[in-house]
């Protein structure tokens, strides 16, 4: 374990920036997002979740898949093989870190998504352990230890005056050794301090849900009236899906201009009316009811069926941001039944 | 005022109503009044046919300036079309300027079928102003 | 994928000189959808059109793009071409590479580049062109002629003679207009009244013509074949049915007013007919000057009227009629001479306008046809005629030439020499313009046979000199200062458009030029049409003309009207708005902006789940829609689209231009 | 003018609302009620739909009954023919007029219960001064906000904790209703000054600053369309932005396309926006959309005469009409 005084954070960051493109959480007009770091930028370490989850670094909201030009012969330029410059994500919260594992199940499964794979490979993730979850945090319910982030290459723990850094992978080791000049060795005292910090969190949650049997229960609820009641206040916006660290549905669009064209991939939201709109006009999910059902079924039943895990990490973004307060907490409670906490 | 951005050849899309401004362009042609070749005309029946979405689209696709030209108020071939145009595009123009788009980028002018000289003059002045401003970067697609 | 053919016209050297046709062709061949390209020296020629037809058949073209002159020039020509080759005429798209390119860009590089861009844009649009079909609309086979001068009279008679109904609306109590004021007409010197009066009578007696005098057009709605016009029939205060035209009332009327017809040289009564041969020859009360209407008592006319035709209670009446076509023949005003104080007009009684002089010549005029000085009633021996007063004068008057002055002044000079033996005419002119059959000969006669002296030069000043008038000028040919002492000065006042021409134009939705003369649809090829289908022009209201031109244009307008009436119904404009029911929210914001009331609400049945449910949406009446497209922008979801100028087409044009 | 506000404690408000709902359902005046209920956290008062008189106990009226229930009437009308009862604040009621003016609502199919509103609370402002996790409840009593924090009760001046949009609200009282739930409140005197304050602030910047400012705002936009989907003026059956042929708006989150979206969205509500401010409040990325809408309102007022949308459903919006002598924002020579 290494440590560095928070006062010297700026040096550490510029050292990292020298290693690779560095992204850190920063505040602008009251909203915290991951942004590319440059000298003098104030890093926001207090905020829990950034607005747009860091999945965007592996799976951007918009990316060029290929460009083509029609002439005597068709010229096609593939962009996937260009993706993935060397990057470092600093201060990713553990819930978001565990969302990466979920995204991997989708995009690294054979055949892997080349662009995604390259970005994953070339990015070093530095997690920042949580100590104080807010009322909308319920990652604990998904057995995520917000103090630790096993999926991260490096774990950073805020011990007040200092940051403790623990390399957890080879990539992590490399980075730490590259930064060694700035870091000092942690004493056993520090290690205990970190332990204390990490233990505090467990009883600081105010919200939790029981997932016991939710998957099975939902399996039988496809035709339930429940959705009829639930969907009515959904306004069909993309807030929940775009802010969800595990939502991963995309659309492919062609931009043709004369003889040239481009194919882009961009995030899509199953809440949008045109998500399943077919060319002929038929829409298998004609109303918001089917769309809302789809989203929660997918997160709590279909995805677990296919991949073993729930497609939710309890980050609480949908709880905080849904304009009509229609969130997964509500569904897990009402459909799943478990309503401890609160 | 000296033209900066030497060598920069702007692309200017001009939506012209068929009855006045397009006729004005024809008259400028018939009278051999040469004007900036940066201008490309799209013929519409009436300036009230010009949807703000067309204007934004032109900027997105790389136009450096957009002009909407119609009959003088009161002369609209369709009685009232340009009166609606006046309100709509005034609102649009105010908004674009509020968002930090240079006023010269998007212009609206009344040019009658008998104003060939004015047509040429307007095309030149618009082209000059856009040259001075330089390329449109604010509203252009990155693609 | 469409099969588009691109044809580039050289227009002789008009296009070919500044546009590299071969490069345009080469570029066009690469454009997506283009399967055939060709070029031609004159695409509008027989050979050129044949080339297109053959290509359509041979290469199974389903869209045609022609790079040529303005679509306003030959769009219809080429639509017929593609139609005759079996394609829908609206599969055609024209790229205007002449007016918008070769004629305005001298640099061949720039011109060629722009031409390619214009072709690309047309190709992009053409690929989205759809077959369009015109809606049929009924025709009301009754014409409205506005203005009862020679132009209106001729137009009315010619239309009526083809067997169609005509309403002739005249602002004054009688038809006849300016021509009725004239004495003789150039270049034949036949008597104006003698040739006009019979026509006036024909109008009055023609079974197909309804004469509406002392009336004005109030409101015009509708469109070609279906105009609805509201006419304000002014309170004449004389019942035309009862009145026998005996003239007793006029004789006894105590109030006198300057006579408009006599150019104010003499007075008329408050109850009056403008002139003796008036049609209808029945009086009207000029309420502004009538003692009863101004002072509240008199009623002499009522007392003396044997037919009990006087009706002081009579009010303006609004008549609303349907018409299929309208001929505008509202004539002209003479130019006011307020800016020409130097000619002493209005200051000295013997300084007259040509029209005043015309009245002096006229047998039925104030002097019974004798030329006498208003000041002392003596015959003038020397008369100075000053040309272009208010014409060709950017500074103080009209920049244009009034066209008739040179000829009527020659006429005046000739008549002067005939009526006043030993008299002499001096004509001060800038140029003498005598373009017209027998005109030059007529002018020659004035100075060769009738001894008129023509002095090239502007008159700088006219001032009284005892009982004479001193005219100061410079003979620009000799350079000599000219000072003439004459008995009378006649000013050839310019002609203006009617003061209220612009108002009428707005009612009719037609345009006027900078001088308020009505603008024709095309200065050469459609000089009688206006921009608005079904509305035609005749006479001076369109620009300065002499009588033969006016009559010719009136007859031409009549034929245009007859051509419309020769059909039971008309084909509408196919580029009309149409509603996509799936997208229409039914908020009808389109309806609010439609100037033709072409949009209405309709109820459609829509499938929702298992049942069919009714829903209100907008619908377009294709016969009423004129295709302005204002509705398409008012419609936020883009549910209402304009055929021929669809959102898809215009966006495609934008994209193509910006490539 | 003495500021008159909601005169009695929240409990009684809620009781009143439940009463009305209960009666309406019981005597079959309506088959359903749209109101607000309480959810997991102190700051959540989502919209709720009730059909069973027994359920009216869920209904509440508190500082967070903010979200407008009005737009749900569109779906409701399409899905069933029966009459529905709806509780509306001042701003919500103008949404009713919005839908009526756009012919998207059949007035006789809605029973409108008008709720005069003293303003709603801003959870962010409260979190800034109280530990969110410890807050049990927040109630508005008179001009005071009463918070149960942990075991203690905090009383603070409400004004400092109200939503900005409520501070510039000109019509706290419903402008259309069948029944007024309790007596009207008087609007805040300073509402008018604050109305265009932010617009003027941005106007005062130079062009490049304005662009930089808005670019920073729009850069955060995630293109979720929550602003559109929330807006009662955005009531088209098929929004232009959702159409594929033609595609008016690219799906890629391209900065220019985002600008395109925001310009056209604002243009489509120009002269129609009635300033409920929900687009801005619910924007997850905190884009100040109301500044854009208000700019257009200000511009239209200045050029074509004062007009307030959502007050009279029978009039024609400013862009649907004209006057011959209208001024123009461009060179008319």
CB neighbour list of residue C100: distance below 8 Å, 6 or more residues apart: B25, B26, B29, B41, C70, C114, C118
CATH class of C4-126: alpha beta
A262: number of Cβ within 10 Å: 18
Per-residue confidence (pLDDT) for residue B75, from 0 to 100: 83
Contact D256 B109 (CB under 8 A): no
Size of chain A in residues: 342
- Domain definitions of chain A by residue range: 2-52+83-204, 214-248+268-336
Examine residue D104 and state whether it is found in any structural domain, yes or no.
yes
Strands in C317-323's sheet, in edge-to-edge order, are: C215-223, C226-233, C317-323
Examine residue D333 and state whether it is found in any structural domain, yes or no.
no
Which comes out higher in pLDDT, residue C513 or A243? A243
Query: In chain C, which residues have their Cβ closer than 8 Å to the Cβ of B18?
Result: 72
B1 pLDDT above the threshold of 50: no
Q: Which domains does chain B have, with CATH numbers?
A: 12-133 (3.40.50.960)
Looking at the structure, tell me whether residues D156 and D16 fall in a common domain.
yes
Contact D49 A232 (CB under 8 A): yes
Looking at the structure, tell me whether residues D215 and D253 fall in a common domain.
yes
Rounded to an integer, what distance in angstroms lies between the CA atom of residue C351 and that of residue C341?
11
Per-residue confidence (pLDDT) for residue B3, from 0 to 100: 52
Q: ipTM value of the model? A: 0.94
Query: In chain A, which residues have their Cβ closer than 8 Å to the Cβ of C30?
Result: 71, 259
Looking at the structure, tell me whether residues D167 and D108 fall in a common domain.
yes
D187 pLDDT above the threshold of 50: yes
Query: In chain C, which residues have their Cβ closer than 8 Å to the Cβ of D317?
Result: 589
Average pLDDT of chain D is 93
Rounded to an integer, what distance in angstroms lies between the CA atom of residue C182 and that of residue C185?
7
Mutation site for A-interface testing, chosen from D33, D34, D39, D41 by largest number of A Cβ within 10 Å: D41
Query: In chain C, which residues have their Cβ closer than 8 Å to the Cβ of A259?
Result: 30, 32
| D7 — pLDDT class (breaks 50, 70, 90) | very low
| A70 — pLDDT class (breaks 50, 70, 90) | confident
| C523 — pLDDT class (breaks 50, 70, 90) | confident
Q: Which residue of D has its CA nearest to B74?
A: D324
| C512 — pLDDT class (breaks 50, 70, 90) | confident
Q: Tell me how many domains chain D contains.
A: 2
Residue C608 forms contact with A (CB below 8 Å)? no
Tokens 């409670």 — which residue? A333
Query: Cα–Cα distances in Å, from C619 out to C584, C587, C611, C627?
Result: 10, 12, 23, 14
How many helices (H) does chain A have, and how many strands (E)? 12, 12
Contact D103 C651 (CB under 8 A): no
Contact A255 B143 (CB under 8 A): yes
| A338 — pLDDT class (breaks 50, 70, 90) | very low
D8 pLDDT above the threshold of 80: no
Looking at the structure, tell me whether residues D176 and D68 fall in a common domain.
yes
Q: What is the pLDDT of residues D94-135, one digit of tens each?
A: 999 999 999 999 999 999 999 999 999 999 999 999 999 999
Query: In chain C, which residues have their Cβ closer than 8 Å to the Cβ of A257?
Result: 655, 659
Q: What proportion of chain D, given as a percentage, has pLDDT over 70?
A: 97
Rounded to an integer, what distance in angstroms lies between the CA atom of residue A206 and that of residue A119?
36
Q: What is the pLDDT of residues C440-498, one digit of tens each?
A: 999 999 999 999 999 999 999 999 998 899 999 999 999 999 999 999 999 999 999 99
Does the reported pTM lie above 0.90? no
Per-residue confidence (pLDDT) for residue D324, from 0 to 100: 87
C624 pLDDT above the threshold of 90: no
Contact D267 B60 (CB under 8 A): no
CB neighbour list of residue A224: distance below 8 Å, 6 or more residues apart: none
Which comes out higher in pLDDT, residue A136 or A335? A136
Residue C483 belongs to what H/E stretch? Answer: strand C481-486
C280: cis peptide before it, omega within 30°? yes
Q: Which residue of D has its CA nearest to A28?
A: D216
* Alpha-carbon distance D295 to nearest alpha carbon in chain A (angstroms): 20
- The architecture of the domain spanning C139-234+319-331+498-571 is 3-Layer(bba) Sandwich (3.50)
Rounded to an integer, what distance in angstroms lies between the CA atom of residue C154 and that of residue C558?
8
Average pLDDT of chain A is 93
Residue where a domain stops, chosen among D154, D180, D206? D180
Q: Tell me the fold of C577-643.
A: Alpha-Beta Plaits (3.30.70)
Per-residue confidence (pLDDT) for residue A176, from 0 to 100: 95
Residue where a domain stops, chosen among D125, D153, D180? D180
- The architecture of the domain spanning C336-494 is 3-Layer(bba) Sandwich (3.50)
| A256 — pLDDT class (breaks 50, 70, 90) | confident
Buried b (16+ CB within 10 A) or exposed e, A22-57: bbbbbebeebbbbbebeeeeebbeeebbbbbbbbbb
Looking at the structure, tell me whether residues D254 and D107 fall in a common domain.
no
- Domain definitions of chain C by residue range: 4-126, 139-234+319-331+498-571, 235-315, 336-494, 577-643
* Alpha-carbon distance D95 to nearest alpha carbon in chain C (angstroms): 15
| D3 — pLDDT class (breaks 50, 70, 90) | very low
* Alpha-carbon distance C117 to nearest alpha carbon in chain B (angstroms): 8
Residue where a domain stops, chosen among D180, D213, D241? D180
Q: What is the pLDDT of residues B71-130, one digit of tens each?
A: 999 888 887 899 999 999 999 999 999 999 999 999 999 999 999 999 999 999 999 999
Looking at the structure, tell me whether residues D200 and D128 fall in a common domain.
no
Q: What is the pLDDT of residues A45-57, one digit of tens each?
A: 999 999 999 999 9
Three-state SS string over A14-45 comes to HHHHHHCEEEEEEEECCEEEEEECCCCCCCCC
Size of interface C-D (CB pairs under 8 A): 47
Do the two domains C4-126 and C235-315 of this chain adopt the same fold? no
Query: Cα–Cα distances in Å, from D15 out to A251, D8, D10, D42, D60?
Result: 48, 11, 9, 19, 8
Rounded to an integer, what distance in angstroms lies between the CA atom of residue D140 and that of residue C653?
58
Q: Tell me the fold of C235-315.
A: Alpha-Beta Plaits (3.30.70)
User: Residue D212 sits in which domain range?
Assistant: 196-320
Q: Is D192 helix (H, G, I), strand (E, B) or coil?
A: helix
Q: Is D246 helix (H, G, I), strand (E, B) or coil?
A: coil
Average pLDDT over residues A81-97: 95
Residue D245 forms contact with C (CB below 8 Å)? yes
Q: Which residue of A has its CA nearest to B141?
A: A255
Average pLDDT of chain C is 94
Q: What is the pLDDT of residues C340-350, one digit of tens each?
A: 999 999 999 99
C531 pLDDT above the threshold of 80: no
Q: What is the DSSP letter of C90?
A: G
C622 pLDDT above the threshold of 90: no
Size of interface A-D (CB pairs under 8 A): 106
Q: What is the pLDDT of residues C97-120, one digit of tens each?
A: 999 999 999 899 999 999 999 999
Average pLDDT over residues D201-216: 97
Beta pairing, strands A21-28 & A31-36: antiparallel
Per-residue confidence (pLDDT) for residue C172, from 0 to 100: 96
Q: Do residues C146 and C169 make contact, with C-beta atoms less than 8 angstroms apart?
A: yes
Per-residue confidence (pLDDT) for residue C486, from 0 to 100: 97
Q: What proportion of chain C, given as a percentage, has pLDDT over 90?
A: 89
C511 pLDDT above the threshold of 90: no
C265 pLDDT above the threshold of 50: yes
Rounded to an integer, what distance in angstroms lies between the CA atom of residue B53 and that of residue D266?
12
Contact B141 D254 (CB under 8 A): yes
Looking at the structure, tell me whether residues D91 and D209 fall in a common domain.
no
| A337 — pLDDT class (breaks 50, 70, 90) | low
Per-residue confidence (pLDDT) for residue B142, from 0 to 100: 82
Q: What is the pLDDT of residues C171-220, one digit of tens each?
A: 999 999 999 999 999 999 999 999 999 999 999 999 999 999 999 999 99
Which comes out higher in pLDDT, residue D194 or D307? D307
D1 pLDDT above the threshold of 70: no
D222 pLDDT above the threshold of 60: yes
User: Which of C633, C651, C653 lies nearest to residue B49, judging by beta carbons?
Assistant: C633
Q: At what angle do helices B52-60 and B81-98 cross, to 10 degrees?
A: 40
Looking at the structure, tell me whether residues D160 and D226 fall in a common domain.
no
Looking at the structure, tell me whether residues D39 and D99 fall in a common domain.
yes
Would the CA dihedral through D272, D275, D278, D284 be positive or negative?
A: positive
A340 pLDDT above the threshold of 60: no
Contact D210 B99 (CB under 8 A): yes
Query: In chain A, which residues have their Cβ closer than 8 Å to the Cβ of B143?
Result: 64, 255, 262, 264
Tokens for A265, please give them: 């991939």
Contact A262 B61 (CB under 8 A): no
| A231 — pLDDT class (breaks 50, 70, 90) | very high
Q: What is the pLDDT of residues B21-66, one digit of tens each?
A: 999 999 999 999 999 999 999 999 999 999 999 999 999 999 999 9
Q: Do residues C231 and C216 make contact, with C-beta atoms less than 8 angstroms apart?
A: yes
Per-residue confidence (pLDDT) for residue C475, from 0 to 100: 94
CA quadruple B143, C4, C5, C11: dihedral, nearest 10: -50
Rounded to an integer, what distance in angstroms lies between the CA atom of residue A336 and that of residue A325?
18
Per-residue confidence (pLDDT) for residue D13, from 0 to 100: 86
Average pLDDT over residues C520-533: 82
């Amino acid at each position: 374990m290494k440590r560095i005084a928070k006062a010297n954070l700026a040096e550490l960051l510029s050292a990292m920036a020298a290693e690779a493109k560095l992204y850190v959480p920063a505040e602008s007009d009251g909203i915290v997002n991951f942004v590319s770091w440059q000298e003098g930028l104030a890093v926001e370490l207090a905020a829990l979740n950034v607005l747009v989850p860091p999945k965007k670094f592996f799976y951007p909201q918009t990316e060029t898949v290929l460009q083509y030009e029609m002439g005597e012969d068709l010229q096609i330029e593939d962009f996937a093989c260009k993706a993935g410059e060397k990057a470092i994500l600093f201060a990713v919260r553990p819930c978001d870190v565990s969302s990466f594992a979920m995204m991997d199940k989708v995009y690294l499964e054979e055949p892997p998504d080349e662009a995604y794979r390259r970005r994953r490979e070339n990015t070093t993730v530095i997690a920042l352990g949580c100590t104080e979850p807010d009322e909308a945090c319920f990652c604990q319910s998904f057995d995520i230890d917000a103090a630790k982030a096993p999926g991260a290459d490096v774990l950073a723990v805020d011990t007040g005056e200092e940051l403790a850094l623990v390399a957890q992978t080879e990539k992590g080791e490399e980075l730490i050794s590259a930064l060694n000049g700035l870091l000092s060795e942690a004493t056993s005292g520090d290690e205990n301090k970190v332990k204390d910090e990490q233990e505090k969190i467990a009883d600081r949650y105010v919200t939790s849900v029981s997932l016991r049997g939710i998957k099975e229960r939902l399996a039988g609820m496809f035709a339930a009236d429940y959705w009829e009641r639930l969907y009515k206040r959904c306004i069909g916006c993309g807030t929940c899906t775009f802010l969800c660290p595990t939502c991963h549905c995309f659309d492919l669009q062609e931009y043709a201009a004369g003889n040239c064209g481009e194919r882009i991939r961009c995030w899509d939201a199953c809440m949008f009316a045109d998500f399943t709109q077919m060319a002929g006009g038929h829409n298998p999910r004609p109303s918001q009811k089917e769309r809302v059902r789809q989203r929660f079924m997918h997160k709590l039943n279909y995805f677990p069926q296919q991949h073993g895990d729930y497609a939710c990490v309890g980050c609480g973004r949908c709880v905080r941001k849904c304009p009509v307060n229609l969130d997964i907490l509500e569904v897990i409670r009402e459909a799943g039944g478990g309503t401890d906490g609160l | 005022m000296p033209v900066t951005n030497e060598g920069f050849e702007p692309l200017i899309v001009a939506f012209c109503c068929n009855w006045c401004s397009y006729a004005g362009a024809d008259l400028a042609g018939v009278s051999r009044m040469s004007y900036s070749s940066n201008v490309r005309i799209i013929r519409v029946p009436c300036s009230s046919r010009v949807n703000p979405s067309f204007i934004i689209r032109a900027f997105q696709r790389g136009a450096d300036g957009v002009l909407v030209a119609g009959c003088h108020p009161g002369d609209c071939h369709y009685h009232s079309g340009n009166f609606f145009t006046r309100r709509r595009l005034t609102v649009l123009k105010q908004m674009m300027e509020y968002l930090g788009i240079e006023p010269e980028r998007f212009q609206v002018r009344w040019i009658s079928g008998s104003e060939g000289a004015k047509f040429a003059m307007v095309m030149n002045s618009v082209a000059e102003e856009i040259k001075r401003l330089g390329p449109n970067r604010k509203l252009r697609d990155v693609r | 994928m469409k099969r588009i053919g691109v044809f580039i016209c050289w227009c002789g050297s008009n296009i070919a000189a500044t546009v590299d046709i071969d490069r345009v062709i080469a570029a066009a061949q690469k454009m997506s959808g283009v399967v055939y390209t060709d070029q031609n020296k004159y695409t509008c020629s027989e050979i050129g059109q044949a080339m297109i037809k053959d290509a359509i058949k041979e290469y199974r073209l389903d869209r045609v793009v022609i790079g040529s002159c303005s679509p306003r020039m030959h769009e219809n020509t080429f639509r017929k071409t593609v139609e005759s080759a079996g394609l829908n005429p609206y599969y055609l798209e024209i790229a205007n590479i002449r007016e918008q390119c070769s004629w305005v860009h001298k640099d061949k590089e720039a011109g060629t580049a722009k031409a390619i861009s214009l072709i690309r844009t047309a190709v992009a649009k053409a690929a989205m062109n759809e077959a369009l079909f015109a809606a049929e609309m009924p025709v009301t086979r009754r014409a409205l002629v506005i203005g009862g001068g020679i132009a209106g009279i001729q137009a009315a008679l010619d239309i009526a003679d083809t067997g169609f109904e005509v309403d002739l609306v005249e602002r004054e109590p009688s038809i006849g207009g300016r021509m009725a004021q004239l004495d003789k007409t150039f270049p034949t010197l036949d008597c104006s009244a003698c040739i006009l009066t019979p026509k006036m009578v024909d109008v009055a007696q023609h079974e197909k013509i309804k004469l509406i005098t002392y009336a004005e057009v109030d409101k015009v709605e509708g469109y070609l074949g279906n105009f609805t016009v509201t006419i304000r029939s002014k309170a004449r205060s004389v019942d035309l049915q009862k009145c026998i035209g005996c003239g007793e009332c006029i004789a006894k009327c105590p109030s006198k007013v300057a006579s408009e017809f006599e150019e104010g040289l003499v007075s008329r009564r408050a109850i009056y007919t403008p002139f003796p041969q008036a049609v209808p020859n029945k009086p009207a009360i000029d309420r502004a000057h009538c003692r009863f209407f101004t002072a509240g008592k008199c009623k002499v006319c009522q007392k003396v009227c044997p037919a009990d035709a006087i009706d002081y209670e009579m009010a303006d009446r609004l008549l609303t009629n349907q018409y299929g076509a309208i001929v505008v023949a509202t004539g002209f005003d003479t130019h006011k001479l307020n800016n020409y104080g130097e000619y002493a007009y209005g200051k000295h009684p013997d300084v007259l306008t040509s029209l005043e002089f015309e009245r002096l010549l006229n047998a039925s005029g104030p002097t019974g046809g004798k030329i006498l000085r208003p000041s002392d009633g003596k015959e003038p021996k020397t008369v100075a005629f000053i040309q272009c007063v208010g014409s060709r004068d950017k500074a103080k008057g009209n920049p244009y030439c009034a066209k008739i002055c040179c000829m009527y002044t020659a006429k005046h000079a000739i008549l002067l020499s005939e009526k006043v033996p030993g008299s002499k005419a001096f004509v001060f002119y800038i140029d003498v313009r005598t373009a017209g059959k027998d005109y030059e000969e007529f002018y020659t006669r004035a100075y060769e046979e009738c001894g008129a002296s023509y002095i090239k030069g502007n008159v700088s000043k006219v001032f009284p000199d005892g009982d004479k008038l001193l005219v100061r000028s410079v003979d620009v040919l000799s350079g000599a200062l000219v000072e003439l002492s004459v008995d009378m000065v006649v000013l050839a006042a310019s002609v203006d458009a009617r003061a209220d021409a612009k108002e009428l134009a707005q009612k009719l939705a037609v345009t006027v030029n900078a001088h308020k003369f009505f603008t024709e649809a095309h200065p050469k090829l459609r000089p009688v049409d206006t921009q608005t289908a079904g509305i035609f022009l005749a006479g001076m209201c369109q620009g300065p003309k002499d009588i033969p031109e006016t009559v010719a244009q009136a007859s031409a307008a009549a034929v245009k009207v007859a051509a419309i009436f020769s059909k039971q119904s008309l084909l509408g404009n196919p580029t009309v708005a149409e509603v996509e029911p799936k997208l229409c929210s039914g908020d009808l914001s389109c309806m609010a902006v439609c100037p033709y009331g072409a949009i209405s609400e309709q109820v459609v049945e829509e499938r929702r789940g298992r049942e069919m449910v009714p829903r209100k949406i907008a619908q377009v009446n294709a016969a009423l829609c004129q295709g302005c497209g204002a509705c398409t922008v008012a419609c936020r979801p883009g549910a209402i689209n304009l055929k021929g100028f669809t959102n898809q087409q215009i966006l495609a044009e934008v994209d193509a231009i910006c490539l | 003018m003495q500021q008159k506000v909601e005169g009695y404690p929240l409990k009684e408000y809620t009781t009143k609302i439940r009463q009305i709902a209960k009666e309406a359902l019981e005597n079959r005046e309506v088959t359903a009620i749209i109101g607000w209920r309480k959810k997991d956290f102190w700051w959540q008062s989502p919209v709720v739909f009730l059909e069973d008189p027994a359920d009216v106990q869920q209904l509440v009226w508190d500082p967070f009954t903010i979200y407008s229930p009005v737009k749900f009437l569109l779906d409701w009308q399409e899905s069933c023919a029966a009459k529905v009862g709806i509780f509306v604040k001042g701003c919500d009621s103008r949404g009713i007029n919005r839908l009526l003016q756009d012919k998207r609502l059949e007035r006789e199919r809605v029973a409108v219960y008008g709720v005069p509103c003293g303003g709603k609370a801003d959870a962010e402002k409260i979190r800034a001064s109280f530990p969110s996790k410890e807050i049990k409840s927040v109630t508005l009593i008179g001009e005071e906000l009463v918070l149960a924090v942990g075991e203690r009760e905090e009383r603070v001046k409400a004004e400092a904790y109200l939503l900005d949009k409520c501070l510039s609200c000109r019509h706290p009282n419903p402008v259309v209703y069948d029944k007024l739930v309790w007596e009207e409140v008087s609007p805040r005197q300073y509402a008018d000054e604050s109305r265009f304050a932010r617009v003027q602030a941005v106007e005062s910047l130079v062009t490049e600053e304005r662009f930089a400012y808005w670019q920073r705002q729009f850069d955060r936009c995630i293109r979720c369309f929550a602003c559109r989907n929330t807006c009662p003026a955005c009531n088209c059956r098929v929004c232009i932005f959702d159409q594929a042929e033609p595609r008016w708006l690219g799906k890629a989150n391209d900065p220019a396309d985002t600008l395109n979206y925001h310009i056209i969205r604002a243009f489509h509500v120009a002269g129609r926006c009635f300033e409920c401010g929900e687009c801005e409040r619910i924007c997850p990325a905190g884009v100040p959309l109301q500044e854009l809408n208000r700019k257009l309102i200000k511009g239209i007022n200045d050029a074509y005469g004062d007009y307030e949308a959502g007050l009279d459903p029978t009039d024609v919006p400013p862009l649907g009409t004209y006057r011959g002598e209208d001024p123009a924002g461009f060179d008319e020579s």
